[in-house]
Each structure stands twice: as structure tokens, then as C-alpha cells.
Chain A
Amino acid sequence: MSAPSQPEAVRIRGVSRRFGAVQALRDIDLTLETGAVHALVGENGAGKSTCFGILAGRIPPSDGTVEVFGEPLSAGDPRASRRHGIVAIYQELTIVPALSAHANVFLGQSLSRRGWLSERAMRRRYLELCERLGVKAVPAGVAAGTLSVADQQILEIMRALVSEARIVLLDEPTASLAQPEREALLELMRSLRAEGITLAFVSHNLDEVLEIADAITVFRDGRLIETAPRSAWTKPRLVAQMLGGETGERLAQELLAQDDDGAAAGHGAAPAARPSRPARPRGELLLRAEEVTVPNAIEGVSLELHAGQIVGLGGLVGSGRTTLLRALAGLEPSASGRLWVDGRERPWPRTVRRAREYGIALLPEDRKGEGLVLSMSAMENVTMSDWRGVARWSLLSRRRMASCASASAEKFGFRAARIGETVRNLSGGNQQKLLLARWQHCRPRVLLADEPTRGIDIGAKDEILTALEQMAREGLGIVVVSSELEEVTVVSDRVAVLAEGRLMGVLDRDRDAITVAQILNTAYDVEVAHAPA
């Protein structure tokens, strides 16, 4: 803006918002400086998204005022927010899959001459934009639906730029991105900042928050706890403020302890808040897979899993981690390979039911799409892996279902009182606990967990990881895939590292240091000084 005084991009004063009985935001004062990157952090339900909703005009505040570049913003009017140059980009992207990249960028603001779309001008402007932002242009004929989530996100950001956005709100922009894509996005955010665009973003990934933000605000229970410039924050302090109370203290302490360890061992950033430990004892060999091949995805991969152990699959998105899990779960009909279950060779499972016969169960990555039936109750979702177990003469007993489901779900910190609620109304963390409880209810021998902590807040994450460890201690064999490699390093006894569909190596806690750096080095086939085995 050209206003001489350079007013703040956004000035929120005394804003509150209630949803019925719930106070989602209490008396928030927040200022976003023009041309800066501002991060909002906090647990799920802390008020970050409501805050974005108010700025974007999706949600009218119950009280308080908002000024944008010194002008008052009219309440709850998405078009007014747009006129002030505010664009919000949510996790659910609004890309039209069948249209090309540039058509998506110019969606709703197409360039035309006398009513006819000017394909060529849009393409040219798109290429200019790509150059300006330093991203690779998508070929003209390619439909946006075939692009990766990361590339689609870039298109959405470009759409904001074309519409002359001056304030861009990003809701968990990196949640579904792999490490290199994350870095590319952070780079893009830096170039936006360099162009004077004000950015606000919500993220659960504190490392990235600390890396890119100029200022960080912590929310807890609808209150703004603290806003401070980046220099005033450390990871432990962020965690402590986010959680508040005792949990925060404990986690922060552990983080601090690990920070020291990390510094001593010389491998940079601290992993999640859990102490390092020796490998769990190895039980019998549950599963041995060899020469696993899925056309165009993985080739000749092998894997061993022992009872009581957690094996992590390390590697980047696209390395074939998820495909390997899905092949083991019977979800890849074109998969081939040799499989031994309890020492006996069995035909490769090409249906889910066959895999279940072998005792293999999958905790899918897409909780809502593949895991839960949102319209059904929590207890039905938990017990649906084995309804016969809570039925008599094939008629379900509500009482038995409730007691079995609560018993399973309580192990993961799910409150038994909520077992009858419809899953749609539960938070992401609680939903994930229900999915875990499903495999507690009907016990498989092998659990394949794909992104078990995606999109849930740090407190619930901790509970889920603890639960997985607990399940391993009880003799389950677990295979974990996570985009957050720290998590893999923390929870795994062994890590099989994949890259481009091939097994690059196996890190064993008894032999190697399991660190993010080690995983990446193995994935990129970098020579590292190995301790002799």
C-alpha cells in the first residue's frame, strides 16, 4: 500500500467469537505487520482457524473490530475481505481437476477479449508468474488434477497473486507435503514476502514455523497466549506455551533434554518429545516379504518384521513407502512377491480379506476417506472390524458393542462417555484413536500404520505414538510410514529406507544411529561412516 504511514496489514482488536456455548475466541488482539510472515500455532481447536475464518469473512465475530490497512473490515462478508486483498488458502484445495494449470490460475478472473477467452495471454501471464516465483511451469496440456498436491497448492497461491492479493492466509500449507516440497513451499513463501505480501499461516510443524516466521503467535483454548518475534522463541518454549500447565512443562523438559543430546551427537534439530532408548526385544519372525514388486511403483523390495517391534519405512513421498504398505494390506492387485507368515510361505495377498486372514491390518492414511464411516457412531466404527464378536445370533448387542468399544478405545485415551457419538462430530485426534482402537478390538498380528499422526495436534500425537509403542510391547508387529521423519526415528526399532521404489538400506537401532540425517543419507545413497556391524 502506498499510505505514507505504512499501516499494519491487519489489526484485530478485542475480537471474540462464540459458537453457541463454546467460546472459540476470547478477546483477541493481533497485529499482522505488512510484508511479514506471521505464524499461528496451537493445538487443534485453539482458535487459529476461527481467526482465519474471521479475516477471510467466513465467520462473523461476536465482538471486536478488524482493520485492514487502516480501514475497517465489514464483518462476515467474504467479498469485502477479498476486496481488501485477503485470500485464504485452505487444506482442501479448490483446483478444478480437468482444467489446465493456467486455466486454474485464472479461474474466475480469466483474461478475455470481447468475451472470448484468451488462452494465449493467460498462458503467457502464467509463465511470467512461474518465472517470477522461481517455480517450474506445468506443460500446457496437462490437467491440474494429475499434479501433486504441492503443485496444486502452488497454482492456488498463483491464483491469489493474479487477483492482487496483499494478505495471504495459509491453513496448514505443508501438512500433506514431502520434505523437498515443503522446502520449495517455504522458498515460495520467502519470495512472496520479498514482494511485500503479508503472509499468515497455521502449522503444526514447529521446525518450519521457527524457520520461516518473522513473528509467532500461540493460541490456546481460544485465547491468544503470546505474540513475539521469531528471535524470542525456541521450540521448547513454543510447546510449553501451546500446551500450558503440566503437560507443557513435561514435554518442554524432555525437549530440552533432547536438544542437549542432539547437540552432543551432532545431528541438528531435536526429534519429537520422546526419550531415546534401546531397541525393543525382538520376538519371533512374524512376516518376511521378498522381491515385492508393484509395477511402476516399487521393485524387488524386501522386509522383515518381528513380533514386538516397530519397523519404520523411511524415505520421501513418492519413494514407494505407501505402496509397499498397501501391497502388504492386499490393496494392490498387481503386486507380486514372496511372503512368509509365521515361517510358512503364503501366496501374495491381492485382496484385503486375504491379508486379514494372514493377520495383516492397515491403518489407512486417509482417515475420513478410507478409515471411518463418519455417519456412524464411534462404537460401531471401533467394532466394525469384527461385529460378529459383539453379536449374538448375528444380532448386534448395543451394550456389548459399547463395552467392547470403550475398553479398546480407552487404551488410547478416548473418553468412554463419547463412545456413542457420531464420528463426524469428533476431532481428528479422537478419530485417529478410534481407528487404532478398531485394531485393538480385533487383534491382527501385523499393523501397517500409514501416517498415523497426520493432521492431529501435538498432545494427541504423543498419545498415538505411546499407543503404538504399547501395542508393540504386547507383541504386535508394526510397520509405520510417516512424512515426519523425526517420528519414524523416534518410534522405530528398525528403519527400512526406500527411494524411488527400491530398498536403499536398513537402519537397525542396535547397530546404527537412527536419525533423520541418517535416513536421508541412506535414501540419497550418500556414503556415511557406518559403525561396523
Chain B
Amino acid sequence: MPQLERAPEPPYGAVGRPAAAVATAPAPAGGTRAVPARALDLVLRYAMVGVLVALLIVANALSPGFFEIGNLRNILTQNAAVGVVAIGMTFVIIAGGFDLSVSAVAAAGTVLFASFAGHASIPLAVLGVLACALVAGLFNGLVITRLRVNPFVATLGSSSIIAGLALLYSHSQPIVPSKAGFDFLGTGTVAGVPTSIVVLAAGFAVGGVVLAKHVFGRAVFAVGGNAEAARLSGMRVDTIRTITYLISAACAAVAGLIIASQTGVGQADVAANITLDSIAIVIIGGTSLLGGEGAMWRTLVGLLILATINNVFDSLALDTAAQSVVKGSIVIVAVTLDAFTRSRQR
């Protein structure tokens, strides 16, 4: 009887429980939470906004010219492409999916845009690129919903296919069109604002309203939160999922247009880091990788955090390797916060 030989343990109540135990205790079903717990929830909910504000203050201290119009404009134009991709990625991730093919679609977009621009007018070339991207998105969507292939694997595969096709199409050579207006998206302005920033802002505005208010946007949440429940309430779950991949591919193509227009070349091996950066942006903002929870403003916050870090490191002329370390750490912090928030919700 080993139990009987042990020293008696202190009885209940003899040891004062730390107050923190209250905050981490599960709330009873239907019960109200304590005030400090509520405050903690609020802090967790807007943690990343706090991080952004802190970063902005630090950025301003480290490089005093940070808030100058010229610098802000630079930050946004440099990150317009990845930002647009993140808008599409937000839809995919909230619907419970994943899209690894966005880099390939964006790169193929630059190639096709440059190529089409040599044969047709710019608007027609843009439409042509978007049409091709929608085919890629439809392919992703159908493989995932009809063939029931895991999104990770499906888009990994399609990414390789699309990248390969782009290389074949361009014979691995950069395409440099010399058409007037090809650089409009990259370096042109609308009413004094760079076109790429206008596109980015419009994307966030439309994407934000659709996600928060539109019947389709809420259906995306329902599908990501509980696909079976969505199906039983009569939603076309597979169609909704497929549409998110269409949106993602279209956004990636727009990013490709911006990149080609900014650099003046179509090249099949650009934008390789867009996939991971766009996913990082969505996650840093606090949208859950498990689907069903998130918001477009969160992606905007994530984008601004990443953009600020990039800018500060660039202006301090620091190594990009250090940038990578900081970026990775912030992703992990964001996911940890999400996991912690979830554990509090039981």
C-alpha cells in the first residue's frame, strides 16, 4: 500500500489558489464570465492591433522619416501584390481551405500579361490573364471538392503544374513587352494615388464587405465553421468552397499583373515567396487556420505588420535573414494566441 506510506498531502483550501486560476478555468455552460476574463478576451481579440501600433511607434523611433507620405506610399506599393493575394487567401482559409498555388498563379500571370500585351490591348490582356487564372482556380476547386483531395496536396500539385506550364510557355525567358500603358498598374496613378494602392484598397473594401455582410461571405464562415451544418441548412458547400479558390486565383492573377507592371517584365520564376507571405499575413492578423473564424480587417492588420517590419529592416539596411527570423517569430506568436484563445473557449 504505497499510498498509505506517503506523507499526507495538504487538504483542500489549505493551499491558497493563485488568482490566475480563475481566469483560466472553463466557464460553466451558459454562465457569465468574470469581468477580468472578459477583459482578457478583449485583449486577445485585438492583440494584433496592439502589436501593429507598437510596431509603428518603434518604426517611427528607429527611422524618423517613417510617416512621411513618400515612405508610406513606398510601403504600400511594395506590398500591394502580396496584399491582394492575402485578400483571396482570407476567403480560402476562412472556408477551411488552403491555397499553395498562388505564387505560381501570380508568376504565370506576369508571363501571360507580358505575352498578351504584345498581341492585344492592355484591357484585353488583363481580361485574358484573369480568365486563365479562373481556370486554374476552378481546377483547384474541383480537385478539392469533387475528387476530395486534401487542399494542401491539391494546391501543392497544381502549383507545380502551373509553374511548369508558365516556364514552358515562356521558354524560361523573361518577356519584355514595349506597349504603352503596360506599367499603368505598377507605376501609374489615379487622382494622384498609385494605381496599385487603389487596387489594394478597393480589394480590401469589397472583400471586407462581402465577407462581413454578403450572404456568400457568411456562407464562407458557415462552411469553414461546420461544413455539415451548412450542408444540412441547404447551402451548396462544394460550390462555395470552389468559389473561394476562384477568388484566390483571381487575386493572385491581379498580383501578377501588378508585379509585371511594376517590373516591366513577365517572368515565370518571380514572386516565389508570395504564397508563404500571404498565408503569414492572414494568420498574423488572427484569422484561424482551422477555418470559420476571422475577418478582412485582420488581414489588413497582418499586412501592415509585415509591411512595417520589412520597411524598418530595409531602412536600417539590416540583413534580410534577420527579417526572416522576426517574421517567423511573429507568425508563431499569432498562432499561439489563436490556440490560447481557443483553449479558453473550451
Contact = CB atoms under 8 A, between A and B. Distances in A.
Contacts of B31: 19-22, 24, 45
Interface stretch (B5-13, B115-123, B128-136, B300-308): B5-13
Closest 8 CB pairs of A and B: A20-B34, A373-B225, A74-B9, A427-B30, A72-B11, A22-B31, A370-B228, A65-B11
Given A24-B28, A375-B225, A375-B292, A75 B233 contact: no
Contacts of B29: 44-45, 426-428
B346 to A, nearest CB: 7
B273 interface: no
A129 to B, nearest CB: 23
A62 interface: yes
Contacts of A21: 31-35
25 contacts: A2-B1, A19-B26, A19-B27, A19-B34, A20-B31, A20-B33, A22-B27, A62-B13, A65-B13, A66-B11, A74-B10, A74-B12, A75-B12, A352-B231, A353-B236, A362-B232, A373-B229, A374-B226, A384-B230, A388-B215, A424-B345, A424-B346, A425-B345, A428-B29, A430-B30
A102 to B, nearest CB: 27
A372 B28 CA distance: 19
B222 interface: yes
A71 B3 contact: yes
Contact of B213 (A59, A370, A385, A395): A395
A83 interface: yes
A495 B235 CA distance: 32
Contacts of A66: 11-12
Contacts of A2: 1
Nearest to B231: A352
Contacts of A425: 27, 30, 345
Interface string A364-383: 10000111111110001100
B209 interface: yes
Given A356-B234, A370-B232, A22 B12 contact: no
Interface stretch (B17-25, B79-87, B171-179, B247-255): B17-25
Given A19-B34, A21-B34, A364-B232, A373 B13 contact: no
A373 B221 contact: yes
Given A45-B28, A373-B221, A62 B17 contact: yes
A425 B32 CA distance: 9
Given A72-B11, A84-B3, A386-B234, 11 more contacts: A20-B27, A60-B12, A61-B12, A61-B13, A65-B13, A373-B225, A373-B292, A375-B292, A376-B222, A394-B215, A395-B213
Given A19-B22, A45-B29, A425-B27, A369 B228 contact: yes
B28 A19 contact: yes
Interface in A385-429: 385-388, 391, 394-396, 424-428
A73 interface: yes
Contacts of B27: 19-20, 22, 425
Nearest to B209: A395
Interface residues of A, number: 62
Contacts of A508: none
A438 interface: yes
A437 interface: no
Interface residues of B, number: 50
A80 interface: yes
A402 to B, nearest CB: 14
B229 A371 contact: yes
Interface string A82-122: 01100000000000000000000000000000000000000
Q: Is the interface of A mostly helix, strand, loop or mixed?
A: mixed
Given A44-B29, A396-B213, A373 B230 contact: yes
Contacts of B35: 20-21
B113 to A, nearest CB: 31
Nearest to A64: B12
Nearest to B225: A373
A17 to B, nearest CB: 9
B277 interface: no
B233 to A, nearest CB: 5
Residue among A380, A384, A394, A426 with the highest chain B CB neighbour number at 10 A = A384
A71 B8 contact: yes
A450 B99 CA distance: 37
B222 A373 contact: yes
A87 B220 CA distance: 42
A482 interface: no
Residue among B12, B17, B209, B236 with the highest chain A CB neighbour number at 10 A = B12
A450 B236 CA distance: 22
B294 to A, nearest CB: 10
Contacts of B26: 19
Contact of A426 (B30, B226, B292): B30
A451 interface: no
A370 B229 contact: yes
Nearest to B226: A373
Contacts of B234: 352-353, 356, 385-386
Given A19-B34, A65-B11, A373-B292, A50 B28 contact: yes
A83 B8 CA distance: 13
A494 B326 CA distance: 68
B216 interface: yes
B28 to A, nearest CB: 5
Interface string B177-188: 000000000000
A379 to B, nearest CB: 11
Contacts of B15: 75
A64 B14 CA distance: 9
B237 to A, nearest CB: 9
B145 to A, nearest CB: 14
Contacts of A395: 209, 213-215
Residue among B17, B234, B292, B346 with the highest chain A CB neighbour number at 10 A = B234
Contacts of A64: 12-13
Interface string B33-74: 111110000000000000000000000000000000000000
A371 B30 contact: no
Nearest to A366: B228
B222 to A, nearest CB: 5
Contacts of B214: 394-396
Contacts of A59: 25
Contacts of A430: 30
Nearest to B213: A395
Contacts of A19: 22, 25-28, 31, 34
Interface in B215-274: 215-216, 218-219, 221-222, 225-226, 228-236
B241 to A, nearest CB: 15
A168 interface: no
Interface string B189-218: 000000000000000000001000111101
Contact of B222 (A45, A369, A384, A386): A384
Contacts of A381: 229
Interface string A5-31: 000000000010011111010000000
